[in-house]
C-alpha cells in the first residue's frame, strides 16, 4: 500500500491478514501491519523493511514508490525480524545501499545474516543524517523494547519515525490508515503496549522526554495507523501507561475456575460491585479468554479481584500463568483482593500471596475468602465484605 504521509514521504508498508499469532503468542484477529516508509529527497531513504512473510509485496510497493530511483540509505530503527528480515534481500537488490542504525543494531546484523556483509553508518543519540532538504535526527530508545532501538525525527516535516512505540495490533485495511480514521485506536493500542512494552515503563519515559520537546506533527510507527491528529491524546496515554498509572476507574476481575464453582463466585462479585456503584467492572475468564487482554486490563485498572481454584497443592495453572506474566511485565502499584477455592486442601491463596508479594507496590486488601467447592449462602457476607474492601480503595 502506498500513501503520502508528509512532503516527499510515503508509506510503503504491508498488511498481514493471514497471521494468527503475532510473535507466536498474541492473537491478532484484525491482522497486523508491518509499516515501512520512503523519503525521496536528493538522497533516498527507506525507513525499515518488513516481515519476510510479506516481503515480495513490500518490494513491489518499494519499487513503485521509488519511481525509478535507487535508495541510498536503509534506516533500521529496530532489528526484530518483523522489521528486519528483508534487509539482506534489499541489500542484494541495491548493492550500494548503506544501512543507518545504532552500533548495537549493526552488531545484530551478523546474528541474523551470518556471513553477509553490509555497508553501514552507525548513529548515536542526537546524530543527524542529511538527505538534502530533509534532515533525520536520531534518538536512541534502548529497551523500547529491544536494546538497539532508535527513533528518528525528520526536522523538515516533523515526522517522528517511532519504531514499535505508538504501534497497535491490527492491519491498516481493517483498522484505518490514520489514527483518526480508526474507530477505537486505544483498545488494541493498549493491548499492544502492555504486552510488548509494559515491562519497560522507565525506558519509555526516557524516550518521551526526548520526544516531547520536538512536538512532532506526525507519528509514524512500525505497526498500526499513522498518527497525525490530537497527538497529545496518544502522548498522554503513553505517559499514564509508562508510569503505571491508573487509566480507568473500576475493578478488574480475573477468574480461573476448573468446574465452574469459582466462576460462579467471580460472577457474583461482578454483580455485587455493579450494585454497589462501581463505575466499571471488567471480567476475564483466564481459562478461555485472551490472556493478553487480561494483562491489558490488569494494567488499565487500579484494582483487581483474583479468584482461582487450587490445583496440585498450588494454584490452578491459568491463574499461575497470568500472575507469572504480570511479574514478567513488571506489574505494579495495584490493589488486589483474593478468593481461593479448594475442595479438600485450599492452596491457591498461599501461592497467589507469594507471587503478588514479589511484585512492586502491590497491596492485598481485605480478608482472602476461601470457598469450599461451591459458594454457599453463608459465603455471601464475606464476599460482600471483600467487594466493599476493594471498592473503598
Ligand atoms: Fe515490531 Fe519489536 O518488533
- Write the pLDDT tens digit of every residue in 100-143: 999 999 999 999 999 999 999 999 999 999 999 999 999 999 99
Which atom of ligand 1 lies nearest, measured to the CA of 164?
1
Give the pLDDT score at 233. Answer: 97
Four-way CATH pick for 248-392: 3.40.50.2000, 3.30.1360.100, 3.90.245.10, 3.40.50.360: 3.40.50.360
Distant-in-sequence, close-in-space partners of 86: CB < 8 Å, separation ≥ 6: 49, 50, 51, 52, 55, 58, 59
Kindly state the average pLDDT of the residues 144-158: 98
Band of residue 335 on the pLDDT scale cut at 50, 70, 90:
very high
Band of residue 376 on the pLDDT scale cut at 50, 70, 90:
very high
Cα of 266 to ligand 1 centre, how many Å? 36
Could you give the residue ranges of the DSSP H alpha helices within 11-113? 55-66, 81-84, 87-93, 103-112
CATH architecture, domain 3-242: 4-Layer Sandwich (3.60)
165 lines ligand 1 (CB under 6 A): no
Give the pLDDT score at 292. Answer: 98
Give the pLDDT score at 96. Answer: 94
Q: What is the pLDDT of residues 4-29, one digit of tens each?
A: 999 999 999 999 999 999 999 999 99
pTM for this entry:
0.96
Cα of 188 to ligand 1 centre, how many Å? 15
Determine the Cα–Cα distance for residues 271 and 215; give it in Å rounded to an integer.
Answer: 45
What residues form DSSP beta bridges with 347?
none
Band of residue 337 on the pLDDT scale cut at 50, 70, 90:
very high
User: Is the separation of the CB atoms in 365 and 389 below 8 Å?
Assistant: yes
* Residue 184 CB burial class (10 angstroms; 0-12, 13-18, ≥19): exposed
Q: What is the pLDDT of residues 277-318, one digit of tens each?
A: 999 999 999 999 999 999 999 999 999 999 999 999 999 999
Atom 2 of ligand 1 has which residue's CA nearest to it?
A: 80
Cα of 22 to ligand 1 centre, how many Å? 10
Determine the Cα–Cα distance for residues 206 and 149; give it in Å rounded to an integer.
Answer: 13
Q: What is the pLDDT of residues 379-391, one digit of tens each?
A: 999 999 999 999 9
Band of residue 327 on the pLDDT scale cut at 50, 70, 90:
very high
83 lines ligand 1 (CB under 6 A): yes
Which atom of ligand 1 lies nearest, measured to the CA of 146?
2
Q: What is the pLDDT of residues 55-108, one digit of tens each?
A: 999 999 999 999 999 999 999 999 999 999 999 999 999 999 999 999 999 999
Q: What percentage of the chain has pLDDT greater than the value 90?
A: 99
Cα of 51 to ligand 1 centre, how many Å? 10
Band of residue 333 on the pLDDT scale cut at 50, 70, 90:
very high
Give the pLDDT score at 268. Answer: 98
Strand 26-27 and strand 21-22: the pairing is antiparallel
Kindly state the average pLDDT of the residues 316-326: 98
Which atom of ligand 1 lies nearest, measured to the CA of 23?
3
Band of residue 354 on the pLDDT scale cut at 50, 70, 90:
very high
Give the pLDDT score at 127. Answer: 98
User: Is the separation of the CB atoms in 336 and 356 below 8 Å?
Assistant: yes
Atom 3 of ligand 1 has which residue's CA nearest to it?
A: 80
For the chain, the domains span 3-242, 248-392
54 lines ligand 1 (CB under 6 A): no
80 lines ligand 1 (CB under 6 A): yes
What residues form DSSP beta bridges with 248?
301
Distant-in-sequence, close-in-space partners of 346: CB < 8 Å, separation ≥ 6: 310, 340, 370, 372
Band of residue 200 on the pLDDT scale cut at 50, 70, 90:
very high
28 lines ligand 1 (CB under 6 A): no
Give the pLDDT score at 321. Answer: 98
148 lines ligand 1 (CB under 6 A): no
Amino acid at each position: 500500500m502506498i500513501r503520502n504521509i508528509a512532503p516527499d514521504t510515503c508509506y510503503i508498508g504491508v498488511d498481514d491478514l493471514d497471521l494468527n499469532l503475532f510473535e507466536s503468542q498474541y492473537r491478532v484477529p484484525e491482522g497486523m501491519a508491518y509499516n515501512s516508509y520512503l523519503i525521496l529527497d536528493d538522497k533516498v531513504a527507506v525507513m525499515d523493511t518488513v516481515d519476510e512473510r510479506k516481503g515480495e509485496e513490500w518490494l513491489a510497493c518499494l519499487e513503485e514508490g521509488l519511481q525509478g530511483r535507487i535508495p541510498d540509505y536503509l534506516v533500521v530503527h529496530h532489528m526484530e525480524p518483523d522489521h528486519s528480515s528483508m534487509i539482506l534481500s534489499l541489500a542484494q537488490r541495491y548493492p550500494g545501499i548503506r544501512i543507518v542504525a545504532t552500533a548495537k543494531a549493526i552488531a545484530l546484523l551478523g546474528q541474523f545474516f551470518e556471513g553477509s556483509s553490509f555497508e553501514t553508518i552507525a548513529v548515536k543519540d542526537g546524530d543527524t543524517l542529511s538527505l538534502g532538504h530533509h534532515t533525520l535526527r536520531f534518538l536512541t530508545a534502548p529497551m523500547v523494547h529491544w536494546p538497539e532501538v532508535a527513533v528518528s525525527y525528520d526536522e523538515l516535516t516533523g515526522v517522528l519515525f517511532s519504531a514499535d512505540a505508538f504501534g497497535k495490533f491490527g492491519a491498516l485495511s481493517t483498522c484505518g490508515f490514520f489514527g483518526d480514521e480508526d474507530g477505537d485506536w486505544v483498545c488494541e493500542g493498549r493491548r499492544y503496549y502492555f504486552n510488548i512494552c509494559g515491562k519497560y515503563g522507565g525506558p519509555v519515559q526516557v524516550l518521551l522526554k526526548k520526544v516531547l520537546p520536538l512536538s512532532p506533527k506526525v507519528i509514524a510507527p512500525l505497526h498500526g495507523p499513522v498518527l497525525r491528529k490530537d497527538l497529545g491524546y496518544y502522548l498522554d496515554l503513553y505517559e499514564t501507561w509508562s508510569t503505571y498509572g491508573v487509566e480507568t476507574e473500576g475493578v478488574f476481575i480475573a477468574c480461573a475456575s476448573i468446574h465452574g464453582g469459582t466462576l460462579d463466585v467471580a460472577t457474583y462479585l461482578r454483580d455485587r460491585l455493579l450494585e454497589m456503584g462501581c463505575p466499571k467492572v471488567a471480567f476475564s475468564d483466564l481459562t478461555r479468554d485472551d490472556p493478553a487482554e487480561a494483562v491489558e486490563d490488569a494494567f488499565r485498572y487500579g484494582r483487581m479481584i483474583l479468584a482461582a481454584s487450587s490445583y496440585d497443592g498450588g494454584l490452578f495453572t491459568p491463574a499461575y500463568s497470568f500472575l507469572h506474566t504480570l511479574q514478567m511485565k513488571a506489574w505494579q502499584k495495584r490493589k488486589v483482593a483474593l478468593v481461593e477455592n479448594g475442595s479438600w486442601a485450599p492452596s491457591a491463596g498461599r501461592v497467589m500471596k507469594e507471587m503478588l508479594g514479589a511484585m512492586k507496590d502491590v497491596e492485598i486488601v481485605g480478608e482472602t475468602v476461601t470457598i469450599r467447592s461451591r459458594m454457599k449462602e453463608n459465603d455471601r457476607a464475606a464476599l460482600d465484605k471483600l467487594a466493599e474492601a476493594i471498592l473503598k480503595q
